[in-house]
Chains A and B, each alone.
Chain A
Amino acid sequence: MTPTSSASVAAGAGTSRMEADALAEFLRERLGEAVQDVSITFGQLTVTLEPASLPEAARLCRDAPELDFDFYDHNAGVDLGEEGFAVVTHLYSLSHGHHVMLRVVAPGGREAPKVPTLTHLWRGADWHEREVYDMFGIDFEGHPGLLPRILTVTNFEGFPLRKDFLLSTREAKPWPGLKEPKEVGTDGDGSAPEAPTAGGRSSEEGADATAAQAPVSAEEKAQASQIRAERARAKAAAMRAQKAAEKEAAQAATSEEAVAAGMAGSDDEPDAQAAAAEKTTGGDTAGEGAAAVAAAAGEPEPQTPGGAADIARSDIAKDAAAGAVGGDTAAGAPGDRPGTEQPVHDPESEAKVGEGAPPAPSGAPGVEAEGRHGGAERQGTDAPPAPSYGERSYPPDEEEERPAPSDTLDEVIHFERGQAPRAPGAAPPDKAVPDDDEDAGPGDER
């Protein structure tokens, strides 16, 4: 078990190594007519052989002492289109250190491609030929058993790496990501103009569709908004009746009802609400309703606690938390992030419900508990002001001393102070932060 140095390896392999052109010459000389083509690209030799002569050529490659290709690396099928398929066998010599790729174009076209097997020469050819059969359907004559299929399932239909085997996912749906950057010339300067980053094919179609619908007259718009406003008013009336029947209700509100309930929440000003709804153009009912409620609250600044509480008391907060109302409450709490505050407050509201404490004025304990929208309580009752989240997470002193990107490295760097590696999960030592200045690595500017 003594490690050998690389020097001896390089010397051993270097003496007898044949360069690609010398190899090509040797093979041409020994194989004669069987060599159809020789190409040397990137210093790599590819010899195209007459298919029937592949076994003899391969045997020569293996047995000739000058070549000594004892190492079977791999073989690869390649779809050539109408011409059929090619199989490229890559061989390597451990003793000499040279490579060759033997390429044959399978006779039989796309219908019945056939290539002689090499399993009798190298053991490794077995699985690789099975794989090529599995992927391309190329029959290896003399192979001990190409079936069962090696990689795909036994009842798989078709040969997946053929070009006529379509990648069904991409056929069903175009690439879901952003559109490719616009193809510019291959001049290689990075200063090429920025390509427009439009959406993918599907979103382009979507844009077309909206564009087709877009040119509607102002009259139609007004009409549509009026219809919507009427519908909203009717819903609000229905909800008012319902509310009168069960005063502290609204506990089994489904999501659609919630919208209507939200409008009912501000039922003291139905006309203002309707008027507001008329003013709005475009947008779906929920968004419109939210905007309407915001306007109906009659407050020029809906983010003031009173207005927000009014809105939040109604169940519309549940549906529109991420939309208009959510934005409003977030705006009322500068520096807060609506996405992050919800998990913080959720357990509180759930716990409160569990304790049987009086729920928020909206009085929908079940919905509050399962709806995961604490917006009502947050603004209306005892929720701490939103900036406290920022304070909890990033104490100001820590924030000043430790820039965000470095905190992953601090834990690593403290190894070099000769301390024992920190157990996973243990807190880093307190002095890690000030010490960081002394131990800054190369490239540090501080």
Chain B
Amino acid sequence: MTDLETMTTERGQGLLPGGPGEGMLVEVRGEGELTTQDMNLNIGPQHPATHGVLRVVIDLDGEKIRRAQPIIGYMHRGFEKLAEARDYRQIMALVNRHDWLSAFNNELGVAIAVERMMELEVPDRAQWIRVLMAEWNRILNHLMFVGSFGLELGAITPVFFAFREREDIQHLMESATGGRLHFSYARVGGLKEDLPRGFLAASAQMTKNVRVRNAEYRDLLQGNEIFVARTRGVGPLPRDVAASYGVTGPTLQATGVPEDSRVTEPYEKYGEIDVKVPVGTNGDSYDRFMVLLDRIDASCDIIDHVLDNITSGPVKTNLPKVVKAPEGAIYVRTENPLGQCGYYLVSDGKKNPWRLKMRTPSFNNIAAMPYLLDGALLSDMIAILGSVFFVVGDVDR
């Protein structure tokens, strides 16, 4: 109402704010009788845009969001408590599941934490394969969000295309790990087993495929006027706010911060690889999505580097029957597809952890949602929610 009043030249008259008739003097009827009222809108817990059971309660003033409050916990499964009742090999299967789209990256974090505590040397080949699998899992994850983000904005094609590549990569990873979603391939001290025959050749071909396809997605979405109009400038996140919330991954990199654990604290063989960290400038939905696409290409580069440099040798170390982390505490974080995933492992020297804190990227990213949605239009909510890439299981654990 206030906007209209400022434009009103005289009582009962107004100027059209835009469109073909911009600036035209029109008669405004019933102006004095219009009243606005805050509206409380509940979105979710079941909503396609929330990819799971995230609920957002929104206070609306007209079309503007006054206050947004994500309500989480619908998928809380008590993983941290369960981990205390399991030994380290069982935890591998457990951490597969909090972020089901980054299963291998998750188990890698726990494996590294236990290995560092035990001061275990992982064979070179195992480290290379871990990098390889982590990057394939990253591409798998990113393709999912490339597809689903387009879908949420009304572009239905990318999701079909993305799932085509996902299917091929899942097939590839299945040939090595036996799983399509929950790989359970990492072990403390190495890997479950070596790669199958022909895996590396297939990987080399697949990166070529993914690069070509990724360029197609770029054309498909970057060249789509509607997509650009709906995402550019929508939901900007400043750098300092992102840091204050502990936001990581593409969401942080889109704000211009080249923070990536693979570069700043290299684990496994990442120290020997030139990892490209794509960054954005504005931190808006568009940048977040473009960073995601660039990360796919960067992962392809890493895989090619691994394929050129992988060595032969064993993939596991001999361990005692029962793996026990020595007493102490360690914090390990790895760059997961959605951001930095940290495991704070407190051990009392027994075979199961005393405490395993899962610092998941989605939790921190979703925590920033009230800031992002504040003042946005309701119709932009989907574009914002979809561009802060998260998995609800990763939020709730």
Contacts and interface: CB of A to CB of B under 8 A. Distances in A.
Contact of B246 (A44, A73, A409, A441): A73
Contacts of A127: 363-364, 367
Interface-central residue, A1, A70, A73, A78, by most chain B CB under 10 Å = A1
B175 A408 contact: yes
Contact of A9 (B264, B351, B354, B367): B264
Contacts of A444: 197-198
Given A1-B280, A167-B81, A409 B202 contact: yes
Nearest to B312: A443
Interface string A331-371: 00000000000000000000000000000000000000000
Interface string A153-173: 100000011000101001000
A421 B257 contact: no
A384 interface: no
Contacts, number: 222
Contacts of A183: 321-322, 351
Given A149-B73, A152-B73, A413-B198, A78 B244 contact: no
B209 A415 contact: yes
B290 interface: yes
B305 interface: no
B171 A411 contact: yes
B201 A97 contact: no
Given A78-B346, A409-B175, A411-B171, A71 B202 contact: no
Nearest to A195: B321
Interface string A40-60: 011010100000000000000
A426 interface: no
Interface string A288-303: 0000000000000000
Contact of B174 (A70, A94, A185, A408): A408
A3 B322 contact: no
Contact of B82 (A88, A131, A167): A167
B355 A442 contact: no
Given A13-B264, A71-B243, A409 B330 contact: no
B281 interface: yes
Contacts of B364: 73-74, 124, 127
Counting chain A CB atoms within 10 Å of each CB, the highest count among B259, B357, B363 belongs to B357
A72 B367 CA distance: 12
A9 B244 contact: no
A90 B363 contact: no
B70 to A, nearest CB: 9
Contact of B331 (A101, A160, A189): A101
Contacts of A424: 164, 167
A248 interface: no
Given A181-B322, A195-B321, A123 B245 contact: yes
A73 B196 contact: no
A6 B198 contact: no
Contacts of A160: 78, 81
A441 B259 contact: no
B244 A5 contact: no
A412 B85 contact: no
A430 B279 CA distance: 46
Interface string A177-203: 000111111111111100100000000
Contacts of B275: 6
A32 B328 CA distance: 25
Contacts of A180: 87, 322, 351
Contacts of A26: none
B294 interface: yes
B4 interface: no
A160 B78 CA distance: 8
Contact of B80 (A152, A161, A439, A440): A161
Interface in A391-435: 405-406, 408-409, 411-413, 415-416, 421, 424
Contacts of B312: 443
B328 A41 contact: yes
A79 B116 CA distance: 23
A121 to B, nearest CB: 8
Contacts of A415: 168, 202, 205-206, 209
A9 B290 contact: no
Interface residues of B, number: 85
Interface string A94-120: 100101010000000000000000000
A42 B367 contact: no
Interface string A111-149: 000000000001110111001000100000000000001
Contacts of B7: none
A254 interface: no
A78 B328 CA distance: 12
Given A46-B329, A188-B320, A412-B175, A5 B276 contact: yes
Among A152, A184, A409, A444: residue with most chain B CB under 10 A? A409
A4 B287 contact: no
Nearest to B326: A186
Interface in A11-51: 13, 41-42, 44, 46
Interface string B128-172: 000000000000000000000000000000000000100110011
B321 A192 contact: yes
Contacts of B328: 41-42
A64 interface: no
A78 B116 contact: no
Nearest to B198: A441
Interface string A58-102: 000000000000111110101100000000101000100101010
B359 interface: yes
B85 A167 contact: yes
Interface string A265-303: 000000000000000000000000000000000000000
Interface in B326-360: 328-331, 333, 340, 342, 344, 346, 351, 354-355, 357, 359
A7 interface: yes
B34 interface: no
A120 to B, nearest CB: 11
A428 to B, nearest CB: 12
Given A3-B294, A122-B244, A409-B202, A186 B274 contact: no
Interface in B291-343: 291, 294, 298, 312, 318-322, 324, 328-331, 333, 340, 342
Contact of B76 (A41, A123, A151, A167): A151
6 contacts: A1-B287, A4-B276, A6-B276, A74-B246, A167-B82, A443-B197
| 7 tightest A-B CB contacts, nearest first | A190-B318, A441-B201, A441-B198, A76-B357, A416-B205, A74-B359, A124-B246
Interface of A: 1, 3-10, 13, 41-42, 44, 46, 70-74, 76, 78-79, 88, 90, 94, 97, 99, 101, 122-124, 126-128, 131, 135, 149-153, 160-161, 165, 167, 170, 180-192, 195, 405-406, 408-409, 411-413, 415-416, 421, 424, 439-445
